[in-house]
Amino acid sequence: MIDLQYHLDGTMLASGGLTDADLAQLAAPLTQARDQVLADAKVWSTGGPASAGRDASPDETGPLDAGFHYLPNRLLEELAEKGDASEVARIGAAADRLAGAVDKVVLLGIGGSYMGARAILEACCHPYYNEVAPTLRQGRPAIYFEGNNVDNDAVQGLLDLLASETGGWGIVVISKSGGTLETAASLRIFLRELAESVTDPSELGQFVLPVTGASGKLFDLAHALGCPDVFSVPDGVGGRFSILSAVGLLPAAMMGLDIQKLLEGAAAMNEHFKTASFEENIVLRYVAAGHAMEEKQGADIRILSTWGKRLEAVGLWYDQLLAESIGKQEKGAMPLTIVNTRDLHSRGQQHQEGKRDKYITNLIVESSDREPLAIGESENNQDQLNELAEKTLPEILSAALAGTNQAYRDDQRPTADLVLPKLDEGRLGQLLQMLMLATVTEGRLLGINPYGQPGVEAYKQNMNAILRG
Ligand code: PA5
């Protein structure tokens, strides 16, 4: 059962928004798109395109990487069947092994190979995870992200940090292709430093946890280093859809999170997507509203407005997911994540009075983990806050959200609300799976293959040609 909710109240406006009829007319095409998404997924639950007698490139515009869809179900089934020998259990054991041996982990990866881990960390861990005493992060290692750029000073800054503190460190390196230059170059540099810092360089591989494809340069290097645990990105699971494979699960386990709950949340969303009618289906209605706003109102900038601080990285992960999946054939809405109330003070003006090309979805967490903190009384009432002394930070955030929605409604600027009752592994699993399913469903609705990223190849080839002369 899912408990995420999606409310379209602020979208159903007299002008500037949609009517019930606008959504209703998408019921048939979207139900058809869902059927295609389910059929694509079935190919991967029965052994992949070859065994299903299907071409891996059904529309000749890219791969059919629909393996992400039932991956949570497959991993959970395998866990129930095989217990300690299952991939989920092995991921947990490998994460515990490295976490027990080091204080810090450098996670190397770019795009879909790191954004999910960062999203999970920011959503589910202590807000100052790396800085707090280890007891406040269950004794798990601090985690630093690199290999997601080629910034000379940033890399050396991290090396300074690693060298200046006592306690060992290790590497999690993630690259499906195993050949991405940013990640590979960083790995070479960090391995060199790690070899200097370990007592016995022949044991270097013990401190490196690779996640990669079933073959390739990183795969070969991992074996040459003698890494005891190497995890694979399963066939049919593309980078930005890989968050619920070892790509996201291994870092999540390293953070001490409950990875089974993440998978259960995703599996519940799969069931909802497959069985709920168009009227009840939050994935289909989310796609319908975004698509109809673009078609009818020309709103091709989709703002994911996160409230509070913890979902920014989930938003950035989603920006990448939507942009790389749908931004093809000169189509595709422009995703943009903002964080409120912070960005009301930097972008709010434009959203209230700028071009009517934006559609805002609020991403709301209903309850905070910690006790609500009140403003409180003070002898120094120069700020005149004593009359609000009883008000808590969650109440102020709610008032800001209600006030913003009202201001947009008064100006005929549509908004929708996507609500999580709480932010934990189960709800995050629901949300991540919902956004991945929505993205591929929209791709099928638009006639765009959501998998692959042919446009990114040009820069890679040019960069390599320039470097190799
Ligand atoms: O979504 C994608 O496929 C990309 O963002 C990739 O994850 C990114 O390019 C990194 O690729 P790789 O994992 O092969 O290093």
Q: Give the DSSP per-residue string, 239-289.
A: GGG-TTSHHHHHHHHHTT--HHHHHHHHHHHHHHHHHS-TTT-HHHHHHHH
Bin 202: left if φ > 0, else alpha if -120 < ψ < 50, else beta.
Answer: alpha
If you measure from the C-alpha of residue 179 to the centroid of ligand 1, how many angstroms do you get, rounded to a whole number?
10
In order, the DSSP letters of 400-441 are HHHHHHHHHHHTT--EEEEEESS-SHHHHHHHHHHHHHHHHH
Q: Ligand 1 centre and the CA of 385: distance in Å?
A: 49
Helices assigned H by DSSP within 83-180 = 87-101, 115-124, 152-164
CA 436/CA 50 separation, integer angstroms = 24
Domain boundary among 261, 278, 308: 261
Does one domain contain both 97 and 245?
Answer: yes
Burial of 172 (0-12, 13-18, 19+ CB in 10 A): buried
pLDDT of residue 58: 46
| Residue ID of nearest Cα to ligand 1 atom 3 | 239
**Ligand 1, residues 110, 149, 212, 449: which to mutate, most atoms within 8 A of Cβ?**
110
Judge whether 461 lies within some domain: no
For the chain, give the longest Cα–Cα distance: 76
Claim to verify: residue 13 and residue 127 sit in the same structural domain: no
Same domain as 189, residue 321:
no
Is there a single domain that holds both residue 439 and residue 321? Answer: yes
Q: Which atom of ligand 1 is nearest to the CA of 238?
A: 3
Identify the active-site residue in 81, 345, 355, 371.
345
Measured from the Cα of 180, ligand 1's closest atom is 15
272 is catalytic: no
Which tens digit of pLDDT belongs to each residue from 120-173? 999 999 999 999 999 999 999 999 999 999 999 999 999 999 998 788 999 999
Q: Give a yes or no: residue 62 inside a domain.
A: no
- Residue closest by Cα to atom 8 of ligand 1: 111
pLDDT of residue 135: 96
469 occurs within a structural domain: no
The pLDDT of residue 456 is 87
> Of 145, 175, 176, 221, which is best to mutate to test ligand 1, by the most ligand atoms within 8 angstroms of its C-beta?
176
Please answer whether residues 246 and 78 qualify as being in contact, where contact means their C-beta atoms are separated by less than 8 angstroms: no
- Output the CA 318–ligand 1 centroid distance in Å: 14
Task: Kindly state whether residue 416 falls inside one of the protein's structural domains.
Answer: yes
Residue 309 Cα to ligand 1 midpoint, Å, equals: 26
pLDDT of residue 439: 98
Closest atom of ligand 1 to 452 CA is: 3
Looking at the CA of residue 240, tell me the nearest atom of ligand 1. Answer: 1
- Which pairs from 231-236 meet CB under 8 Å and 24+ separation? 231/87, 231/90, 231/91, 231/94, 233/176, 234/67, 234/71, 235/48, 235/67, 236/44, 236/48, 236/64, 236/65, 236/66, 236/67, 236/68
Q: Do 245 and 282 fall within a single domain? A: no
Which residues' Cβ are closer than 6 Å to ligand 1? Answer: 110-113, 175-177, 180, 183, 238-240, 324, 453
Q: Is 354 left (phi over 0), alpha (psi -120 to 50) or beta?
A: beta
Q: Residue 249's closest CA among 239, 241, 258?
A: 258
Claim to verify: residue 227 and residue 289 sit in the same structural domain:
no
182 and 42 inside one domain = no
Give the domain CATH number at 305: 3.40.50.10490
Contact predicate 145/114, CB 8 Å:
yes
The residue whose two tokens read 């992200």 is 145
Q: Write down the catalytic residue from 217, 261, 391, 460.
A: 460
For a mutational test of ligand 1's pocket, the pick from 180, 181, 231, 457, i.e. the residue with the most ligand atoms closer than 8 A to its C-beta, is 180
Examine the domain organization and report whether 274 and 352 are in the same domain: yes
Cα separation, 161 vs 359, whole angstroms = 42
Residue 402, in any domain of the structure: yes
Q: How far apart are CA 70 and CA 77, in angstroms?
A: 11
42 is catalytic: no
Residue 60 lies in a domain: no
Last residue of a domain, one of 261, 289, 305: 261
**pLDDT, position 50:** 66
pLDDT of residue 53: 60
Cα 241 from chain centroid (whole Å): 9
The answer to whether position 11 is within a domain reads yes
- Residue 92 belongs to what domain range? 71-261
- Whether residues 418 and 311 share a domain: the answer is yes
Q: Whose CA is nearest to atom 2 of ligand 1?
A: 239
Residue 392: what pLDDT? Answer: 98
Contact 268, 124 (CB under 8 A): no
In a domain, 460, yes or no: no
Residue 321: CB atoms within 10 Å: 25
Residue 104 sits in the same domain as residue 221: yes
Q: What is the pLDDT along the chain (469 residues), one digit of tens a residue?
A: 999 999 999 999 989 999 999 999 999 999 999 999 999 999 887 767 766 666 554 454 567 899 999 999 999 999 999 999 999 999 999 999 999 999 999 999 999 999 999 999 999 999 999 999 999 999 999 999 999 999 999 999 999 999 987 889 999 999 999 999 999 999 999 999 999 999 888 899 999 999 999 999 999 999 999 999 999 999 899 999 999 999 999 999 999 999 999 999 999 999 999 999 999 999 999 999 999 999 999 999 999 999 999 999 999 999 999 999 999 999 999 999 999 999 999 999 999 999 999 999 999 999 999 999 999 999 999 999 999 999 999 999 999 999 999 999 999 999 999 999 999 999 999 999 999 999 999 999 999 999 988 888 888 889 989 989 8
Number of structural domains in the chain = 2
Check whether the bond before 341 is cis (ω within 30° of 0): yes
Beta strands in 297-397 (DSSP E): 301-307, 334-340, 358-365
How remote is the CA of residue 200 from the centroid of ligand 1, in Å?
Answer: 33
User: From the CA of 321, how far away is ligand 1's center (Å)?
Assistant: 11
At 60 the pLDDT is: 46
| CA-based nearest residue to 427, from 4, 1, 126 | 4
* The one catalytic residue among 324, 351, 358, 425: 324
Return the ligand 1 atom nearest residue 212 CA.
13
96 and 213 inside one domain: yes
**Ligand 1 atom closest to residue 112's alpha carbon, by position in its atom list:** 7
Residue among 201, 232, 234 nearest 219 (CA): 232
**pLDDT of the residue at 52:** 61
Of 232, 261, 290, the residue at which a domain comes to its end is 261
* Cβ neighbours of residue 171 closer than 8 Å, sequence gap 6 or more: 105, 106, 107, 108, 187, 190, 191, 194, 207, 208, 209
What span, in angstroms and rounded, lies between the C-alpha atoms of 247 and 244? Answer: 7
Give the type of residue at 375.
I
Does residue 309 have an active-site annotation? no
Q: Are residues 201 and 314 in the same domain?
A: no
In tens, the pLDDT along 182-230 reads 999 999 999 999 999 998 888 999 999 999 999 999 999 999 999 999 9
Which pLDDT score is estimated for 20?
96
CA dist list (Å): 160 to 30, 37, 81, 193: 52, 47, 46, 11
